[in-house]
Structure 1
Amino acid sequence: MRRALAAPPDRASCRPMTLPTKSQVLQWIADNPAKTSKRDIAKAFGIKGGERIDLKRLLREMEDEGHLSKRKKSFDDPNRLPPVSVLTVTGVDADGDLYLAPHDWRGDAPEPRVLYVPAERDPALAAGDRVLARLTEIGGEDHSHEGRLIRRLATGPKRLLGIYRSGGEGGRLIPVGKGDDREWRIPAGATGGARDGELVEAEQSGPKGRMGLPQAKVVTRLGDPGAARSVSLIAIHEHGLRDDFPDDVIEEAAAAEPVTELGMRTDLRDLPLITIDPSDARDHDDAVCALPDDDPKNAGGHVLWVAIADVAHYVRPGSALDREARERGNSTYFPDRVVPMLPDALSGDLCSLHEGVDRPCIAVRMQLAPDGEKIGHRFVRGLMRSPASLHYEEVQAAIYGEVSDRVAPHLDGLCVLWSAYGTLRQARARREPLDLDLPERRIVLDADGTVTSVAFKDRLDAHRLIEEAMILANVAAAETLEGGPLLFRVHEEPPEDKLDSLRETAEASGFKLGKGQVLRPAQLNRLLRDAADTELSELISMATLRSMQQAYYAPRNFGHFGLALRAYAHFTSPIRRYADLIVHRALIAKHGWGDDGLSAWDIEHLERTGEVISAAERRSMMAERDTNDRYLAAFLADKVGAEFQGRVTGVQGFGAFVQLAETGADGLIPVRSLGAEYFRYDRDEQTLTGSESGLVIGMGQPVTVRLAEVVPVTGGLTLELLSVDGAAVKRAKGGGRKPSRGRGKPKSRLRKVKRRR
């Protein structure tokens, strides 16, 4: 009869003993999680010789019963986490704490919840990341363990968007992303019920074999890729945008109530605060009005009011709405839909400054001198009622004498607003922000989502009026909050290497950009004006744009180079930008307007919040750009073979990128389509030069191209070059010896031109 042991013996007293009980094995594994192999267990209980067979049988029995989980040559208690574990980041709770979950939980007990305890130098983690962490069991009510990062193993599994093609055993995924032509194998059990030709979202599920394709599994079926409404859907999934709100976020938004009592708010309902937006706008988060200043010390000046929806009243720090808005960072706008930062119950209703209804707001009263300089400002938390929601086009028409019945009752107020704008233009001219006015495309869809027209948007004075008012309000917010917790909108000056490149391009074009002095936007404006009436105007504009840094959000103020402003913060669009909500909370906290100002968590995590929403902004920009490219490709699909005018906007070793003049669509002239000769790529000059023909293709050149191929699902256009600078292209027949890449530098295609003043 075997004798039961009260506890495993220590190493010094080990001697041949009988088999332990199952509970004793489990207790040993719990106490010694680093020693869980069969050899460790045998040594701990002094099991030798033939009894090893009995131990093996016992462990197999415990594994079959689910008490143990065998991993390679060791055994774990599946209901306990080892002290060093692989975990997956699950997300952030209401208090801003990050939680982890076991990557491969196989126990019968509920999955343990692990609180992540970050160290000062730990990298930022995001939902889906896998980490190796050292765990401490604490047995708390909210979480059972605390985890400290050893290292991040990988970000979340790669997501793929593509067309599913069925095959004999499973199928294949053909990605729809530009430049991604690698196919993926979908095993038979991982198709998710997808049908041949369907658009699907898949997830990487395994590496590729030596001779095979990488492996993936279908996670979402998205339907017909050719459907017009699939275009933006592709971008939403491809860029990981959050297009569905969680239930708790919807519930919070639905439970919100309109503000009907004035309370401690300032009554602004008698001010003629009108909203001026695009004709198809669904939300209205800013309203403006101007009055003659009655201060005798400021004769001829104006008082400009800018009122912004009080989103902070509804989106409280740490709420489900707040967490979701922070992750989204901003709203994303497509031709056929909007992916909003906030649910429609707020963005389209309670937070929107609709005509004729009371709405809470945070407003700034700015005193303007006759020359447009802001000589004072103050913020209030108020209640307003907009007398009118007008469109840019009807305001523009009224300013120039065509007054509609809708606008007529508000014409006097618009005239004063227009007068104030005139002074703001004077102040802008003195400040000289960067004047890089780039055209914006407008894609018009019919009810089915099919593109009916593509054109460049008109840049109206009514747009500029609202833009100048918003810029000044943002400046007032930054000045008021500077020195306290705040997210600035930062746009740093161009780095020296990019300036050198711009300077070289300018000098080769016959223009000049000074060196050895502090760069100001005014200097770049002079360069742009010098080039404005020449054939190289677009080349200089594109080179200037490429020299710019990308703007971002940060709690430290490095100024805004492009706007030529010392301090700048986003205050005017809290419905669609989380940065503005942070600024509103900072104003609330500074003025003591309520308990919904910046929280301690907000302040502690300002830098990380800036990183999160800056990344979200870049995601949205790429998604919007890719969607426009796909819509443009669909619009041009029946025009294959047609000829178009365009300009070269980029040069690489594999070909030249061209923007078509009529639509703004971008296409590629592959170098292989230029004939049999070798084309040398000069990275510094940004040119391709033919070895036999001497043909030079470079930035900014006017070209005539033929549309050779369109792939709407990727937005790809392939072009054939017909002429450069008005001269027809003659292709080499081949047979010529291709020179080595190291031979000779081609002459620059940029020629000296007379500068125009």
Structure 2
Amino acid sequence: MSKRKKSIFKSKGNKIRNLDTDILQVFNQNSNKLLNYKQIAAKLNIVDANGRNLVIQELQDLKAQDRIEEVERGKFLMVPKSHYYDGIVEVTTRGNAYVVCEDLEHDIYIPSRNLNHALNNDLVKVYVYKRKKNKKQEGDIVEILKRAKTEFVGVLQKSKNFGFVVPDDHKMYADIFVSPKELSDAQDGDKVLAEITDWPANSKNPFGKITRVLGKPGDHDTEIHSILLEYGLPYSFPEHVEAYASKLPIDITEEEIGKRRDMREDLTFTIDPKDAKDFDDALSFKVLENGHYEIGIHIADVSHYVKEDTALEEEAYLRATSVYLVDRVVPMLPEILSNNVCSLRPNEEKLTFSVVFEMDEKGHLLNQWFGRTVIYSDKRFAYEDAQEIIEGTTTGVDQPLQEAILTLDSLAKKLRKRRMSEGAISFDKTEVKFNLDQNANPIGVYVKESRDANKLIEEFMLLANKKVAEFIGKKKKTYIYRIHDEPNIDKLALLQGIITKFGYRIDTNSRQSTSESLNKLLSDVHGRPESNMIETLTIRSMSKAIYTTENIGHYGLAFDYYTHFTSPIRRYPDVMAHRLLQHYLDGGKSVQAEKYEEKCKHSSEREYMASKAERDSIKYMQIKYMQNHDDQEFEGVISGVTEWGIYVEIIENKCEGMVRIKDITSDYFIFDEKQYALIGQADKRMYQLGDQVTVTVKNTDLERKHLDFNLVED
């Protein structure tokens, strides 16, 4: 049984635990009322004389701190709200927290005793103490304004008359108490989904109920479903949504074709991952009489099928994105749409929304056209197939298709070179991929890099997204933008401090010098043992890209206007972008931004949750893979250094685990924060960020997604 499950008593000796926080909460809930000690004691269910005396004492302390004022003798009122702020809680793994407030320059430190039952990512009201010299800003959480989540995945520890759910989330610091009537059919040791229903002020633990039994810990499907539910992501469609989708008219009528530009005769093909089933985009290619090229970027016309104010639309909005886990895709749209009706499969007519460019051989854009089309895809290529054409190692592909791909590759390289010269940053980060057996067990790990075929598709999708956003943005009409702010100067300084130890540097004197030096850094580290670590740290130094109606441009791409238009099967913002583009092509007036801004915010949040779930699934598979390699030595790079140990990333498969400081037995090591190193006290041996080391597997924990290594010392 977890230590956290035991109940606490509000009163201990001659003190009442967290009394100051409880009193402040009472004042916050009665902000315009004068309250005396008897009223406060009554609201806190304190009935004994000793407890009331403690309330009187605490009121005087709060008055001395200027947190309440004595308006009349014995009657108190909350001070004006100048010391109160709203913000988001970020709980640390040690149980303390920080509140991030937009109105304050620095985050507010919240010791665990002042959390007042707030959980990670909750929106709260916080009281900020007057800051003392050389002290970090500290505060108390006085009210929870909005819970970020109330459902948690965890393992049930069941006793005779009750149970506790021990959450998987390491930032959830309290186990959930479950009474007998709320246990459902869950058994001891089951992995479950539990919902918090109440959290009494005098209880250390929240009360909850089990809403779903997921299965036994360690079972593959149980763990994958746990990852999805942990982030509030669904893994099946409601029956009414599936039923609605199955009844959609899917035949392409002559009447519908008559409303569109007919491009079925143009040479058209798709290039996608070999295991893809949802083909969002296709390219068409034609040489014009003037010698220029007509290039069509054709995108599945999802908004033709997904109409507003329908069950399908509501579900697509709620999901906002498809989720790509290691062994499965959780689609935004039901399979009949995502893999069938909307997927641009070969040898089938499809309805599309297209961007058509006229370009010269130097990759200069001469004309553009936007509108709805109908196409016929002649061929489906995997990236590997297209790469063979580019490298000249393929046979059996029709000459027109080969010439189209080679010409598009040449144009894409010119577009990319021009984009880089204008300040774009080249993030070609490697992807960890798995070979799975028929039971979804990992039997191999490999690292996938972006090659010319990938970059060909990328450049034309970027160009389409840019030109659509530019077309509307210059008309000053409300639209959906994908923005990326400039990097935080403090984060760049931190990055500089780390990469200096490897002999690299960045120049942050100007925007141009920053992007150029970042590109040089990414190029210089490519293929080196420390590459993945430095690429990851560089990405973390960047701002996060989000959706919004307020355009500020995209720093990483060096575009003044950018949107997401090219993947409506898997991204809801693209569906909105399609609808708005058609609205404006039809002569519509600018729409109100507020409605779309709220949808942009929701889409950004869902995208973030999906990316966390995707990372967790990779981590889970890496640990599962390493379970069968406990007798093998691996070469790795130290990717992180903390006071409790070092993180090591294996070079060949990117699996990351921890070597705990207590397991390094050759010396007594201490953490040197300035050097990002552990230093031995006897022989001064140093284990520093970026050092290459040899490790073996010590322990694999699938439930906690944690991997421990032993260090192989010389």
- TM exceeding 0.5: yes
User: SS in structure 2 opposite 1:570?
Assistant: coil
1:273 is paired with a residue of what secondary structure?
A: strand
Matched, 1:318 2:309: yes
The question of 1:514 aligning with 2:507 is answered yes
Partner of 1:624: 614
**Correspondence for 2:583:** 589
CA displacement at 1:215 relative to structure 2: 4.0
Q: 1:400 aligns with which of 376, 388, 391?
A: 391
Contact residue 335 and residue 444 of structure 1 kept, 8 A? no
Q: Structure 1 pair 538/335, CA: closer, same or farther in 2 (3 Å)?
A: closer
Q: In the TM superposition, what is the alpha-carbon distance from 1:574 to its structure 2 partner? A: 0.5
| Equivalent AA in structure 2 for residue 284 of structure 1 | F
Gaps of 5+ in 1: 1-128, 132-150, 729-757
Quote the residue 1:375 is aligned against: 366
State the match for 1:272 in structure 2: 267
Call closer, same or farther: CA 1:612–1:274 in 2, change over 3 Å.
same
Are the counterparts in 2 of residues 521 and 564 from structure 1 also a CA contact under 8 Å?
A: no
Q: 1:409 to 1:152 in 2, by over 3 A?
A: same
1:168–1:656 distance in 2 versus 1, CA, 3 Å: same
User: Does the 8 Å contact 1:371/1:427 carry over to 2?
Assistant: no
Q: Could you tell me how far 1:441 is from its partner in structure 2?
A: 0.8
**Secondary structure of the structure 2 residue equivalent to 1:420:** helix
Say which of 280, 284, 289 aligns to 1:285: 280
Q: Residue 163 of structure 1 aligns with which residue?
A: 155
Is 1:464 the counterpart of 2:458? The answer is no
Contact 2:195 2:209 in 1 (8 A): yes
Q: Does 1:500 align with 2:493?
A: yes
Query: Residue 289 of structure 2 aligns to a residue in which SS?
Result: coil
- Residues 594-629 of structure 1 show CA distances to partners (whole Å, capped at 9, x for unaligned) of xxx99957x431211111111101100000111111
Following the alignment from structure 1 to structure 2, what is the Cα–Cα distance between the partners of residues 657 and 221?
34
Distance (Å, rounded) in 1 between the aligned partners of 2:185 and 2:564: 46
2:145 and 2:529 map into 1 onto residues whose CA distance is 52
- The residue identity in structure 1 corresponding to 2:157 is R
Secondary structure at the counterpart of residue 219 of structure 2:
coil
Please give the alpha-carbon distance, in whole angstroms, between the structure 2 residues aligned to 1:450 and 1:535: 27
Q: Residue deviations 1:662-686, cap 9 Å, x none?
A: 2211111223323496654444543
Cα distance, 1:158 vs. partner?
Answer: 2.5
3-state SS of paired residue (2:297)? strand
Higher mean alpha-carbon deviation, 615-624 vs 651-660, is at 651-660
- Taking the aligned partners of 2:502 and 2:656, their CA distance within structure 1 comes to 24
| Residues 306-350 of structure 1: CA deviation (Å, up to 9, x unaligned) | 000111111122322222212211100112221111111211111
Give the Cα separation in 2 of the matches to 1:328 and 1:683. 41
Counterpart of 2:556, as a letter, is: G
Residue number in structure 2 paired with 1:652: 642
Q: Distance in 2 between matches of 1:613 and 1:410?
A: 37
Taking the TM superposition and a 5 Å limit, the aligned residue runs for 1:408-487 are 410-482=401-473, 483-487=476-480
- Which of the residues 627, 634, 638 maps onto 1:637? 627
The equivalences for 1:48-447 within 5 A come to: 153-155=145-147, 158-178=150-170, 183-207=175-199, 214-258=206-250, 259-261=252-254, 262-295=257-290, 301-403=292-394, 405=396, 410-447=401-438
SS at match of 1:229: helix
Change (3 A) 1:449 1:580: same
Alpha-carbon spacing, 1:163–1:432, altered in 2? closer, same or farther (3 Å): same
SS at match of 2:462: helix
Counterpart of 2:679?
Answer: 689
Distance in 2 separating the partners of 1:451 and 1:256: 38
What code does the residue aligned with 2:368 have? H
Contact 1:585–1:598 (CA<8 Å) still a contact in 2?
A: no
Q: Give the whole-Å Cα distance in 2 for the aligned partners of 1:662 and 1:399.
A: 27
Residues 721 and 214 of structure 1: CA distance in aligned 2, closer, same or farther (over 3 Å)? farther
- Counterparts of 1:284 and 1:491, CA distance in 2: 26
Aligned counterparts of 1:665 and 1:720: Cα–Cα separation in 2: 14
Q: Structure 1's 312 and 690: CA in aligned 2 closer, same or farther, altered over 3 A?
A: same
Q: Distance in 2 between matches of 1:604 and 1:212?
A: 40
Contact 2:554/2:562 (8 A) holds in 1: yes
Instruction: Report if aligned partners of 1:553, 1:610 keep a CA contact under 8 Å in 2.
Output: yes
| Aligned residues: CA RMSD | 3.1
Counterpart secondary structure, 2:241: helix
3-state DSSP class of the match of 1:605? Answer: helix
> What is the deviation of 1:211?
9.0
Q: Does 1:527 align with 2:521?
A: yes
User: Residues 159-185 of structure 1, C-alpha deviation per residue, up to 9 Å, x if partnerless?
Assistant: 221222333223333333457686444
| Paired amino acid for 1:168 | K
What SS does structure 1 have at the residue aligned with 2:511? coil
Give how far 1:653 is off.
Answer: 2.6
Question: 1:655: Cα distance to partner?
Answer: 2.3
- In structure 2, how many angstroms separate the alpha carbons of the residues matched to 1:199 and 1:679? 38
Q: Is the 8 A contact 2:387 2:453 kept in 1?
A: yes
Query: Larger radius of gyration, structure 1 or 2?
Result: 1
CA pair 346-599 structure 1, distance change in 2 beyond 3 A: farther
Tell me whether 1:703 sits opposite 2:686 in the alignment: no
SS in 2 for 1:572: coil
Q: Distance in 1 between matches of 2:480 and 2:531?
A: 36
Q: 1:542 to 1:358 in 2, by over 3 A?
A: closer
The corresponding residue for 2:73 is none
Task: Give the direction of change, closer, same or farther, for the CA distance of 1:175–1:642 in structure 2 (3 Å limit).
Answer: farther
Alpha-carbon separation, structure 1, partners of 2:619 and 2:157: 24
Task: Tell me the distance in 2 between the aligned counterparts of 1:385 and 1:213.
Answer: 60
Q: Tell me what 2:708 maps to.
A: 718
Paired position in structure 1 for 2:535? 541
Q: C-alpha separation between the residues in 1 aligned to 2:687 and 2:392?
A: 48
Deviation at 1:461, TM superposition (A): 1.6
Letter in 2 for 1:254: S
After superposition, give the CA deviation of every residue in 1:214-243 in whole Å (9 maximum; x if it has no partner): 543211011233322233211111111023
Q: Which residue pairs with 2:95 in the alignment?
A: none
TM (norm. structure 1) is 0.70
Shift in Å, 1:585: 1.0
Instruction: Using the TM superposition, give the Cα deviation of residue 206 of structure 1 relative to its aligned residue in structure 2, in angstroms.
Output: 4.5
| Structure 1 residue 558, shift from structure 2 partner | 1.5
Residue 538 of structure 1 and its aligned partner are, at CA, apart by: 5.4
Tell me which of 661, 668, 672 is aligned to 1:671. Answer: 661
Over 3 Å counting, the alpha-carbon distance change for 1:643 and 1:408 in structure 2 is: same
Higher helix proportion (structure 1 or 2)? 2
Paired letter, 1:582: M
Structure 1 residues 197, 462: closer, same or farther in 2, change over 3 A?
A: same
Structure 2 portions without partners, runs of 5+? 1-121, 125-142
Partners of 1:404 and 1:245 lie apart in 2 by 43
TM-score (norm 2): 0.74
Would you say the 8 A contact 1:302–1:420 is kept in 2?
Answer: no
For residue 426 of structure 1, report the CA deviation from its aligned partner.
Answer: 3.9
CA contact (8 A) 2:529 2:637 kept: no
1:303 counterpart letter in structure 2? E
Q: Is the 8 A contact 1:265 1:381 kept in 2?
A: yes
Matched-pair identity in %: 31
Distance 1:518 1:130, change over 3 A: closer
Q: Are the aligned partners of 1:542 and 1:649 in contact in 2 as well (CA < 8 Å)?
A: no
Provide the residue aligned with 2:566 in structure 1: 572
Deviates more, 1:174-183 or 1:379-388: 174-183
Are the aligned partners of 2:477 and 2:590 in contact in 1 as well (CA < 8 Å)? no
